[in-house]
Amino acid sequence: MASARIQRWALKLANYSYTLQYRPGVQNGNADGLSRLPLATSPATVPVPEEVVFAMALLDGTPVTASLVAKWTARDPVLSAVVRFILQDWPSQVGEEYRPFHRRNNELSVQKGCVLWGSRVIIPVQGRERLLAELHDSHPGMVRMKALARSYLWWLGLDLDIETTVRGCTVCQQHGKVPPRASLHSWEWPGKPWYRIHIDYAGPFEGKMILVIVDAHS
């Protein structure tokens, strides 16, 4: 994180190979002198630097990648054992900590070192806080957070963790309510035949397409 001025300097200096050396202020009189010397002609306005840097603040957290999850998985004592069980075979007796995984046994797979339950990535303890923060980004509220999580990730107690996060967040408490669903508006029944028809193709059925027309009245 640096001001636009510092970033301009960084860009400029990126062309050179250099070493930085610290010099205390008292020994830096030449630089001070140069920046404070009166100019022969003073400009009417403060000159704008030639290059424009669209300074983009660094994201608070870089996105979580598959290789990161794989690294966490390898370090997690339970999950790394689960990986082994999936790839080789489950033992006939498993400890309490493996039960939640053993129960899902048929739906578990390993992909690039990550454990998947169906299409959801199982997140080791190490990454949970970060992913909760990512799910919570923009304060979508409990329902949306759970829905989002459901399509991508899972861990034991995920729902509870989401609930705790949302309950502890004042912004979510104030704004996280899901707006009421709009009530369904059904087609009105037409008063006479052939007033409104619904048409669609069905098939191919035995090599033929069937054009289906439904008269809404009859």
132 near Zn ion, judged by CB under 5 A: no
139 near Zn ion, judged by CB under 5 A: yes
Contact window for Zn ion (CB under 5 A) among 47-55, 58-66, 138-146, 196-204: 138-146
Shortest reach from residue 147's CB to Zn ion, in Å? 15
Cα–Cα distance between 82 and 73 in angstroms, integer? 9
Q: Which residues, 6 or more positions from 82, have their beta carbon under 8 angstroms from its beta carbon?
A: 98, 101, 108, 115
172 near Zn ion, judged by CB under 5 A: yes
Cα–Cα distance between 82 and 79 in angstroms, integer? 5
Nearest partner of 118 among 68, 148, 152, 91, judged by Cα: 152
Shortest reach from residue 129's CB to Zn ion, in Å? 15
171 near Zn ion, judged by CB under 5 A: yes
What are the counts of helices (DSSP H) followed by strands (DSSP E) for the chain? 9, 6
142 near Zn ion, judged by CB under 5 A: no
Shortest reach from residue 172's CB to Zn ion, in Å? 3
Contact window for Zn ion (CB under 5 A) among 31-39, 60-68, 109-117, 161-169: 161-169
169 near Zn ion, judged by CB under 5 A: yes
Site string for Zn ion, 41-60 (x = CB under 5 A): --------------------
Nearer to Zn ion, 102 or 144 (CB): 144
Q: Report residue 141: phi and psi, to 5°.
A: 90, 170
3-class DSSP state of 145: helix
Shortest reach from residue 169's CB to Zn ion, in Å? 3
Contact 69, 124 (CB under 8 A): yes
144 near Zn ion, judged by CB under 5 A: no
Please state, as a whole number, how many other Cβ atoms lie within 10 Å of the Cβ of residue 140. Answer: 18
143 near Zn ion, judged by CB under 5 A: no
Nearer to Zn ion, 94 or 169 (CB): 169
Cα–Cα distance between 174 and 106 in angstroms, integer? 41
Residues near Zn ion, by CB under 5 A: 139, 169, 171-172
